[in-house]
Structure 1
């Protein structure tokens, strides 16, 4: 007896079936938010390694689109990339739950640290931990940047030129310049798939759209403190481009200089908390919010910071998905991706200048690189925990 052949509709249904369920994806991002150390550079690298390389849940093209969108839009890169990758197969529900799962673990951690900081009058051990962890993190993100560069740039000379230029600019300015990402995309677009008017020698006026300037209303003295916190952190999420650390100068200007919510030492401790906890570096806003206005302040600060980046990712995502296969769009995305990888590589050097300060930190960073090359399955949290213990042992001896 002949077996019935599957119908065309069954084939189409099987082809349309996403390679992962929504809850598999949510569990992955919850775990990454719990154990993913190293800031946006490393987190973007982990997502590529795990979701594109090992699990094959996300295609390389979808990953590139997500990375390009995360670089073009303001807000924290790693959180936006997570939101976009959640959107790829599961649309709004995937984007929302992936974003929450990614941010929630580190938010709960900084809440606990904020409580301890207020309860015990500072965290003196934090410098020792950050001394060791900071050096190990440089090794982790250096490996991630290397793998991301090899995979994304390949052997294309134009992409390599863009990558190197952006790396140099990032090192020189210690910041990420948004218009250079756009320019890189346009250059590759015009080189690979020039528009008809350019091929025929026509001209076109290109207008730059400026984001509206912040109104400054947050500083009005008759607003409740939570409203001030909400408005300030919404501006931070909506108007700051670049990776997580790009937001730090903006936060310093508002939190310390303008509003006088924290002093210099408290602000430095807040940044250190972000660096020694997993997940997005921008989660430092939860710690700052807690110091300013307790639990409500932490919740308002985190929600106000991440809501703009969620909207800036979800609203354009359907158009990225619909038009992303056009040659012009693919060329533009490749250019922005090369620029992003260059900026990420430059950020590794910038961060290394601050974390690699003496012989022990050099040895910790090199040891991390060696371990990750030798034992490819070694979990990063194990390395971070070892580096933290090394910092607790070494730092007091050098700074007694």
Structure 2
């Protein structure tokens, strides 16, 4: 059998990979998945669509569009989805786990090093520079997403409203996302021209060839992808207890005030509302972890994001760092390093277990979702709100990176965080400005910018102390 490429030439159809062959490729992707979701999705496209033709262009984009509708890291869910298509549940588990495990192991090691050597002057100087780079990276991410999301005045208005609700009113992040989705759903009925697109990524002239999955469909080998109530109930019966069972057990054994119970409950809730990826939810997580629970201080949250930027896998692994520090500080009699490791492991579990649930439960129904214009419009509005959320994150980080003192000013219902201008750290401001120039003007990669700022931080701290 042959397959046509985009130039009309006939080529041999790709062979169906064995599970072992697929596992090696998923491990390669997991080890090389630096650069956030955009870079990770591009890597998967090259490996799975262009180089191996395991999945066709249109089906790849269709799977990506579905993953964009879900809370959680879309790149990890896309890997799970494609692995599930080719090799059923086991294939999905292998693909999804190998996307997470390398980064989670690296983050665990970095968290251990962080708490052991954080106050060594050299390490402290490195993180001083990393904080400035992280601020520039968040700003660059916001600008990149805004170009795609803010296509008209309605989307700009939603983004501004989301920013003001978070910055001035301290509105809960889930409420902002839910409100944006309702606006998009209503907008589809009142002004569909303004709310079309749903954030879906398309590409004119996409190469028309049959990938492995398309050939499997033709041969009737995708029966596991057919939706049924029985399959859905079985998925719920397995994955809901796997996800929430440990959280309930901790509540019964340790009580609601224990740090492990708090970690399990809080990050389980985050797993349901993390639309828009790590950047979108991080400001809310940071404020809750710093101000509500007291797990860590603002500067440590920025350090965690810097560490997550340097590891493979989903950027949302920054939550593992947060859970590690939370349990390390509230160890309750356990060895602090053991408690921190368990807290990080619990965070990873309750963050990613629901990702498998969303795929195994919902993927068979994606054809029904594909043409749903109301759902597409809701995603469009949520994507616009994410721009405002990231702007709030950038401002929150900027205040805590550039100024030594920040205060909350309450005026009626408004409660913005404002800097004490006299506490400006000129060294951090210079480093952040240079990092932004490197990223935005000269298009340097994320890792070189982080490394350069870390080295510059050491020099600045050494000669200005």
TM-score where L is the length of structure 2: 0.60
Counterpart for residue 342 of structure 2 = 297
More deviation in 105-114 or 127-136? 105-114
For structure 1, the residue ranges without an aligned partner over 5 or more in a row are: 37-42, 71-76, 196-211, 257-261
For structure 2, the residue ranges without an aligned partner over 5 or more in a row are: 5-9, 51-56, 192-243, 275-280, 310-314, 404-424
1:215-234 matches, cutoff 5 A: 218=250, 223=254, 230-234=260-264
1:269-280 matches, cutoff 5 A: 269=300, 272-278=303-309, 279-280=315-316
Deviations 1:154-173 (A, max 9, x none): x3222221122112323335
Cα 1:120/1:168, change in 2 over 3 Å = closer
Q: 1:177 aligns with which of 173, 176, 190?
A: 173
1:283 partnered with 2:320: yes
Q: Distance in 1 between matches of 2:304 and 2:96?
A: 21
1:364·1:387 contact (CA, 8 Å) conserved in 2?
yes
More deviation in 21-30 or 100-109? 21-30
1:236·1:247 contact (CA, 8 Å) conserved in 2?
no
2:267·2:351 contact (CA, 8 Å) conserved in 1?
yes
Q: Residue 186 of structure 1: CA displacement?
A: 2.3
Q: 1:380 aligns with which of 440, 446, 452?
A: 446
1:326-337 matches, cutoff 5 A: 326-337=372-383
Cα 1:348/1:303, change in 2 over 3 Å = closer
Q: 2:427 aligns with which of 344, 348, 360?
A: 360
Cα 1:268/1:350, change in 2 over 3 Å = closer
Cα 1:150/1:194, change in 2 over 3 Å = same
Q: 1:342 aligns with which of 384, 388, 409?
A: 388
Q: Residue 182 of structure 1: CA displacement?
A: 2.2
Deviations 1:338-380 (A, max 9, x none): 112321232222212212333332222222222223443x331
Q: 1:389 aligns with which of 451, 455, 465?
A: 455
Number of matched residues? 345
RMSD after superposition? 4.4
Q: Distance in 2 between matches of 1:144 and 1:165?
A: 19
Q: Distance in 1 between matches of 2:149 and 2:62?
A: 10
Counterpart for residue 206 of structure 1 = none
1:237 partnered with 2:267: yes
1:104 partnered with 2:101: yes
Cα 1:367/1:174, change in 2 over 3 Å = farther
Cα 1:228/1:345, change in 2 over 3 Å = same
Q: Distance in 2 between matches of 1:392 and 1:140?
A: 20
TM-score where L is the length of structure 1: 0.68
Q: Distance in 1 between matches of 2:139 and 2:102?
A: 24
Cα 1:321/1:138, change in 2 over 3 Å = farther
Deviations 1:36-72 (A, max 9, x none): 4xxxxxx3454566667998878666545534422xx
Q: 1:246 aligns with which of 264, 284, 287?
A: 284
1:52·1:63 contact (CA, 8 Å) conserved in 2?
no
Counterpart for residue 84 of structure 1 = 77
Cα 1:116/1:187, change in 2 over 3 Å = closer
